[in-house]
Each structure stands twice: as structure tokens, then as C-alpha cells.
Structure 1
Amino acid sequence: MTPEEADIMEGDSNTPDVACYRYTSERDTVLLQMEKMDDEVVGTLSYNYFEKDNNNGTFEGKMIGDTLFANYTFGSEETISVRELMFIKKGNNIVEGFGEVEDVNREMN
């Protein structure tokens, strides 16, 4: 299974929408937890890839339709960075989007 095919689990509709995303392979793990109130979303995200620097951080953003747009603030090798995130919800799966980025004052846009 790829990160793009990992399952998403949703919480009770009477409370803030909570979703968890987990991808694991033999040596890699990605964990995402998010809480949605109306269109506002906050959460945590960790990338732990074999033989690469781990990234652990938080994000804040908005859901527009089935797409999450957020800024991810994370630490890696004692450096704090910010980059844009985009995830698209497809049924019970969530897919991370990738595109070209530009480094502007340590923020990847």
C-alpha cells in the first residue's frame, strides 16, 4: 500500500470531525491526525522515512470541498521550517498532493 492509498477514519459528527491517517511500509511511517471545525483544520503530521531526516510538526489550514490546504510547521535536524500541504480526500482514502515549491524566508510556498 502506498501513502496515497492509506485509510482515513472519521469521528462522531456531534463533535469536531477527527480524522487519522497512517501509512506504514517495511521501513517508513507517516502519521497524520486532524481536527476539523467548519472549514478550519488543525493537526499533527509526522514523516519517518528510512535513512532520511524525520519531520514532525503541526499544521493549520482550511478544507475547500474535499481538499485540505494548510501550512505545516515542522522540525527536522534542529531546524524549524514551514511548507504548504495539500491533501485530497477520495472516499475513505487521503492523497497528498505535490507540486513545485519556492523557498521564501524558510517557508516553502
Structure 2
Amino acid sequence: MRTALLMTIPYIALACQSSPSSEQSAETQASAHCYQKVTGKDTFLLQLVVDDTDVKGVLEYKFHEKDKNSGTVSGALSDNIFRGTYHFKSEGTTSDRPVIFKMMGEQLYEALADSADANGIPIFATDDSRLRFDPSPYSKTDCK
């Protein structure tokens, strides 16, 4: 599934490879960042390609003995805070929800929602200084 998702975002696959050739476009010169978080038997993977303030990637939540969520993320990076939209498929349904991550060195922290709207969509603080983050980080890993 991850390979299929990477193919939907062509420059991610190129950016996650080792050094780019001189023939590749400036678009493929974006920096790739890959992270993984393991909590018990659950595994979460995030691959991001950052091109200035534009961010695109692939996010997978692999829950043990439960349906996994996998899809793409896109959004903007400002002051090491990535605010984006997670477009994913779970239990045969395609959905969108906001996601926020904070990049800190070799680690990435996922924001915790303040509440949810009537449809269960997470609501986050609009002011970055008021965001709360999961204390258990994703750790940087090699891009595959």
C-alpha cells in the first residue's frame, strides 16, 4: 500500500532515494524526512518531503488487530510546525482530517486535538503556542 501511495506523489519517491542526480528537477531536490513511532504493537510511519514551506507525504497508522489508516498528507511548514490535511482510507471509507506535527531535531511530535466537531473532526488551537503535543515522539529513520 505504501508503494501505491508513494506513486501518487511522484517526487516523494525520488526525494527519498540517495543523492539526486544533476538531471533531476529542482522539485526533486526537496528534503525528505522519514519518521517512525512504535507504541506497544502499533506502528506509525510518516514520510515527508519538505520543499521550502510546502510539505507533502505519506502517513500510515498501523494499529495491531485493527484496521489501519493510510493516506497522504499535504500542508505548510512554519517555525517547525507542519499543519496539513490527512487524506486517508480506513474501513473502506475515504476521509480528510487536519493533522499537526512539530519537528524537533531527530524527532517529530503529533499535536493533540483540543476537541472535536459534531462529525468527530479534530479541532486544534490556531495559535501555535497553545498547541499540545503527544509526549511520545516519532523518531527519524531511513527513508525506504
Q: Normalised by the size of structure 1, how large is the TM-score?
A: 0.78
Greater Rg over alpha carbons, structure: 2
Deviation at 1:47, TM superposition (A): 0.1
* Whole-angstrom distance in 2 between the partners of 1:85 and 1:50: 21
Higher share in strand = 1
The two structures, once aligned, show a CA RMSD in angstroms of 2.2
Alignment coverage as a number of residue pairs: 97
Alignment match of 2:80 (pick from 66, 81, 85): 66
Pick which of 43-52 and 73-82 moved more: 43-52
Partner of 2:35: 21
C-alpha contact (below 8 Å) 1:23/1:30 kept by paired residues? yes
Cα displacement string for residues 5-64 of structure 1 (whole angstroms, at most 9, x for unaligned residues): xxxxxx87x920110001124411101001011100000000011233210000110001
Amino acid at match of 1:80: T
Higher share in helix = 2
C-alpha contact (below 8 Å) 1:82/1:108 kept by paired residues? no
Large movers: runs of 4+ above 3 Å? 106-109
After the TM superposition, which residues 70-109 of structure 1 pair with which residues of structure 2 at under 5 Å, given as runs?
70-99=84-113, 100-102=115-117, 109=123
Distance change >3 Å, CA 33–CA 51, structure 1 → 2: same
Distance change >3 Å, CA 107–CA 82, structure 1 → 2: farther
* Whole-angstrom distance in 2 between the partners of 1:96 and 1:107: 16
Amino acid at match of 2:38: T
Q: How high is the sequence identity, in percent, across the aligned residues?
A: 30
* Whole-angstrom distance in 1 between the partners of 2:103 and 2:34: 12
SS in 2 for 1:80: strand
Can you give the 5+ residue segments of structure 1 that lack an aligned partner in the other structure?
A: 1-10
